[in-house]
Amino acid sequence: MPRPEEELIAALKRNGVDFTASLPCEKIKVLLEMVGGTFPHLPLTREEEGVGICAGAALAGRRPALFVQSSGLGNMINALLSLTQFYELPLSIFVSRRGIYQEKIEAQIPMGRRLPGMLAGAGIAFSEINTRDELALVERGLERAYNTNSIHAFLMSPVVWEGSECSAGSSEFGVRSAECEVKGWTQGTAMSPFLTRYDIIKLIAPYLEGKVVVSNLGWPSKELYAVRHQPSNFYMLGSMGMATPIGLGIALSSRKEVVVIDGDGSLLMNPGTLATTAFASPANLTIVAIDNGAYGSTGNQPTLAGSCVDLEQVARGFGFRNTVKVAGEQDLIAEIKEQRKGPAFLHVLAVPGNKDVPNIPVHHLEIKKQVQEYLRKE
């Protein structure tokens, strides 16, 4: 009789899963080691970034699966609804359900008990897997997720793994890391920005042609569309903090050059994704972090990058070896033209301000379709 971990991995294989990511849970530690040794796998710093990375992988044609514990699902809801569900991307989520069976940590109980109601309220399909026999339900959920471009969550009780004879040694994950050591740490140079985000996008636009461009939500996407629309531009319309994770997922799943136009407010919301990016180390990824010290899409309220945070040093501290800070036109053009081996982090200082441009007139599903068609031309 197949052991439960082996049975689940076999189901994943049968349904073409080819990209996985996870955060640890003691209840499924053996399963996660086996998944990491079987599929391309990425360890995460936060569940929400996993949604963005898996969305990028799905745009590039992968069939992603995400492994988390029940407490982490609360960190994912907005991204699941405004990114994965909104753009109709496939994702299977295997949730180690805590708080329902021999739970020793009382804080796990509220989320564990309320998961079915939360998912039902969010319109996310789910299956409760409470016994080993119910693993047979996984097949149907996987087929639905990947054949209909939808989300399916599997709430896995600890009972499923109870008594399993499976064991796994410490295995390296499928995504290899470059060395993360950063040498030659330098303090940021004092610079006086004078370009707006729109000015910066206009300057770099000629060098974005033919690349996959993931643009941060709100004004950055609208300004990019107004300056240089191309089918390979993925315009974010929601899910703040997900620009770099989406770009990372695409870069790990494609040979195309990928450029992320991110912002200080977005990066501060999900900084751990810089550590994940440095670990995964895709050579085809460049992050253009436009730092105007303000939340531009909500009224230019100040961010902490405008007072006490140096984003280039943050990136270097998380393991980026290829970083640069610029503020003027000539330096910006010189750096964007340079063929840097990624992951590269280009910290561009700017002044606050939004260009009065119209909304993007392309339906969000058409945006997805155009990007997917471009990525299929490998």
pLDDT-based confidence at residue 103 (cuts at 50, 70, 90): confident
Please state the pTM of the whole predicted model: 0.93
Q: What rounded mean pLDDT belongs to the chain?
A: 91
What is the set of domains in the chain, with CATH numbers?
4-161 (3.40.50.970), 197-375 (3.40.50.970)
At residue 180, the pLDDT reads 45
Q: Is the pLDDT of residue 185 over 50?
A: no
Query: Percentage of residues in the chain with pLDDT exceeding 90?
Result: 79
At residue 305, the pLDDT reads 83
Q: Is the pLDDT of residue 187 over 70?
A: no
- Per-residue pLDDT tens for 121-177? 999 999 999 999 999 999 999 999 999 999 999 999 999 998 887 776 654 545 544
Query: Percentage of residues in the chain with pLDDT exceeding 70?
Result: 93
* Section 4-20 average pLDDT: 96
Phi, psi of 155 (to 5 degrees): -90, 105
pLDDT-based confidence at residue 295 (cuts at 50, 70, 90): confident
At residue 190, the pLDDT reads 61
Q: Is the pLDDT of residue 189 over 60?
A: no
CA–CA separation, 340 and 320 (whole Å): 13
At residue 101, the pLDDT reads 86
CA–CA separation, 192 and 374 (whole Å): 38
- Per-residue pLDDT tens for 22-44? 999 989 999 999 999 999 999 99
> Strand 19-22 and strand 64-69: pairing?
parallel
